[in-house]
C-alpha cells in the first residue's frame, strides 16, 4: 500500500493534536504540512513513517521541537500584574511543552504511556509523570463560565458534571441554535462546548459562528461527525473531541483551550 494511503486515516487526528498543542488551527496545520514535506525530502524519515501512527506522531513531535527551538522563555511577571488571573496565565505560559505533549498524547489521542514514550523518546514512567504534572498545573488555572450546546440530555448532564468537577461553572445549556445565541448574549461565557447537530435540525457550527462574531472565546466541538468539520469549506475548529468521548479527553481539551485564552472569571 502506498505510504500516503497508510497515513491518510491518521492525518485528521494528527491535525487535531497539532491544533490543541499549538492553540491555533493555522500553526497546527502548518506543522503537520511541514512534517509531511520533510518526509518527502528524507528517504529515512519516509521509511520510518511506514511504522504507522506512532511513527507519524514521533515525526511531528520532532518537527514541533525544532520549531520551538529558539522560542524565548516567558518574561518575568511585570510589577503591578500580581492579580490571580495574571499570575495564573504567567505560570501556565512557563509549563514545559513536553508536559503538555505527554498529557495530550495520552488523554486526547489515547496513546498508551509506552506508545507516548516512543513518540517523545522517553520512558513510559516519564510520560506518566509529565502528564500528571501538566494536569495539575493546568487544573490550577483561572476558572471560567461554560456554555454547553448539546441536544442529548444525558450527554449535556455528563458535560455539566465534568465542567463543575474541573472547577468551572455552567452559565447555560442550549439544545438549539436560537437558544445558544440567547444564552451566549445573556451570560457571556468564557468557553463553549458544542455539538454540531442540534435538536430542531439547526447547526451547532452556525451557532458557534454567530457567537464568535460578537466575542473572542475558545470553542471545543464534541461531535460524532468530525468529518463535517474538516471539509475546508469554512474555518475549521482548533479543538475537536470525537463522540463517544472519554471524560479525560474533554478535560484535556478544556485545559488546552483555556491555556491559550484568558478566561473570564466565573459568575
List the domain boundaries for the chain: 3-67, 84-139, 145-259
pLDDT of residue 255: 86
DSSP string, 149-192: E-S-HHHHHHHHHHHHHTT-EEEEEESSHHHHHHHHHHH--SEE
Asked if 53 and 73 touch (Cβ cutoff 8 Å), the reply is no
Q: Please identify, in words, the CATH class of the domain defined by 3-67.
A: mainly alpha
Beta strands across the sheet bearing 191-194: 169-174, 145-149, 191-194, 219-223, 239-242
Q: What is the DSSP letter of 197?
A: B
58 CB burial (10 A radius; 0-12, 13-18, 19+): buried
Question: By mean pLDDT, which of 9-13, 53-57, 145-149 is the weakest?
Answer: 9-13
Helices 113-120 and 124-139 pack at an angle, to 10 degrees, of 90
What's the DSSP call for residue 228? G
Structure confidence at residue 263 as a pLDDT band (50, 70, 90): low
DSSP 4-48: HHHHGGGHHHHHHHHHHHHS-HHHHHHHHHHHHHHHHH-HHHHHH
Count CB-CB contacts under 10 A for residue 31. Answer: 21
- pLDDT bin (cut points 50, 70, 90) of residue 136 is confident
pLDDT band at 137 (very low <50, low <70, confident <90, very high): confident
Q: How sure is the predictor about 8, in pLDDT bands with cuts at 50, 70 and 90?
A: confident
- Which residues does 117 contact at the CB level (< 8 Å), separation at least 6? 123, 124, 126, 127
Summarised one tens digit per residue, pLDDT across range 192-218 is: 999 988 988 888 889 999 999 988 899
Q: What is the pLDDT of residue 27?
A: 87
Residue 225 pLDDT: 76
Strands 219-223 and 191-194: parallel
**pLDDT tens per residue, range 176-190:** 999 999 999 998 999
Q: How many CB atoms lie within 10 A of CB 248?
A: 16
Q: Does the pLDDT at position 240 exceed 60? A: yes
Q: Is pLDDT of 241 > 70?
A: yes
* Integer Rg of the chain from CA: 19
Average pLDDT over residues 106-133: 95
Query: Which residue in the block uniquely carries the three cell numbers 503537520?
Result: 32
Rounded to whole angstroms, how far apart are CA atoms 231 and 86? Answer: 37
Superfamily of domain 145-259: Response regulator (3.40.50.2300)
d(CA 5, CA 20): 25
Say whether pLDDT at 52 is over 80.
yes
Q: How far apart are CA 109 and CA 57, in angstroms?
A: 10
For residue 84, pLDDT over 60 is answered with no
261 vs 257, higher pLDDT: 257
- pLDDT tens for residues 17-43? 998 888 888 888 999 999 999 988 998
Q: Does domain 84-139 have CATH number 1.10.10.10?
A: yes
Examine the pLDDT at 80 and tell me if it is beyond 80.
no
Task: For the chain, give the mean pLDDT.
Answer: 84
Amino acid at each position: 500500500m502506498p505510504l500516503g494511503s497508510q497515513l491518510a486515516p491518521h492525518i485528521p487526528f494528527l491535525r487535531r493534536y497539532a491544533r490543541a498543542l499549538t492553540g491555533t488551527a493555522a500553526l497546527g496545520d502548518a506543522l503537520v504540512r511541514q512534517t509531511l514535506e520533510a518526509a518527502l525530502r528524507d528517504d529515512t524519515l519516509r521509511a520510518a513513517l511506514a511504522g504507522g501512527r506512532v511513527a507519524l506522531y514521533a515525526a511531528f513531535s520532532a518537527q514541533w521541537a525544532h520549531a520551538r527551538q529558539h522560542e524565548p522563555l516567558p518574561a518575568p511577571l511585570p510589577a503591578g500584574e500580581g492579580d490571580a488571573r495574571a499570575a495564573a496565565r504567567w505560570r501556565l505560559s512557563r509549563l514545559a511543552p513536553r508536559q503538555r505533549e505527554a498529557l495530550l498524547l495520552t488523554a486526547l489521542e489515547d496513546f498508551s504511556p509506552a506508545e507516548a514514550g516512543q513518540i517523545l523518546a522517553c520512558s513510559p514512567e516519564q510520560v506518566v509523570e509529565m502528564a500528571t504534572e501538566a494536569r495539575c498545573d493546568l487544573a490550577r488555572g483561572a476558572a471560567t463560565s461554560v456554555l454547553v450546546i448539546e441536544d442529548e440530555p444525558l450527554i449535556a448532564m455528563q458535560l455539566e458534571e465534568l465542567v463543575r468537577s474541573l472547577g468551572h461553572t455552567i452559565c447555560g445549556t442550549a439544545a438549539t441554535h436560537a437558544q445558544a445565541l440567547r444564552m451566549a448574549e445573556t451570560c457571556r461565557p468564557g468557553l463553549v462546548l458544542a455539538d454540531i447537530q442540534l435538536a430542531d435540525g439547526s447547526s451547532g457550527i452556525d451557532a458557534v459562528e454567530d457567537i464568535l462574531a460578537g466575542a473572542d472565546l475558545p470553542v471545543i466541538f464534541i461531535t460524532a461527525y468530525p468529518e463535517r468539520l474538516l471539509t475546508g469549506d469554512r474555518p475549521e475548529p482548533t479543538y475537536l473531541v470525537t463522540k463517544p468521548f472519554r471524560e479525560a479527553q474533554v478535560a484535556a481539551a478544556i485545559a488546552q483551550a483555556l491555556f491559550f485564552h484568558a478566561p473570564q472569571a466565573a459568575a
